[in-house]
Structure 1
Amino acid sequence: MKTLFALALACCFSSGDGTVYVCDSPSSVAYHYKRDCRGLNNCKHEVKKTTVSEAEKLGLKLCGWED
């Protein structure tokens, strides 16, 4: 629930540092620049848009496929 609230805030109060995508799952560890990144293929939850800074505040790192 905490993750969902943080992502909802990120969508409404974007800091302008770019859109990224995250799997809205408690076990998520990465954010993705592309919605069709193969790192998101196994996401069984909703994929949310957010910003890099908000994703990093949640402890997420850039997906290894996107380096």
Structure 2
Amino acid sequence: MKKIFLLLSIFIFLTAFQTMGKEVFICTTTSSKTYHVKKDCKGLIKCKSIIKKITQKKAENVGRVKCKLEK
């Protein structure tokens, strides 16, 4: 019983501190097709709508690609 509790505790500890993924910034307009690593990217400054922070994986899942201005 102690071994199960110890293993369960270790599992919970390790999964609790995992990062959700790298966060990126997107412009929420319908015509926007890129995501940006830096909030001060020149491509993102042009955004006339709301700038939202999401994970890179989510951005790629909805068809966004990395901004070409960022290296």
Q: Does 1:18 align with 2:22?
A: yes
- Greater relative contact order structure (CA < 8 Å, 6+ sep): 1
Moved over 6 A (4+): none
DSSP-derived class of the 2:60 partner = helix
Secondary structure of 1:22's match? strand
The match for 1:44 is 48
TM-score w.r.t. the length of structure 2 is 0.70
Rounded Cα–Cα distance in structure 2 between residues aligned with 1:58 and 1:42: 21
Q: Which runs of 5+ in 1 are unaligned?
A: 1-14
Query: How far does the alpha carbon of each residue in 1:12-50 deviate from its partner, in whole angstroms, 9 at most, with x for none?
Result: xxx622110000010011000011111112100000000
Q: Once superposed, what is the RMSD of the aligned Cα atoms?
A: 1.1
> Between the two proteins, what is the percent identity of the paired residues?
40
TM-score by length of 1: 0.74
Q: Secondary structure at the match of 1:39?
A: helix
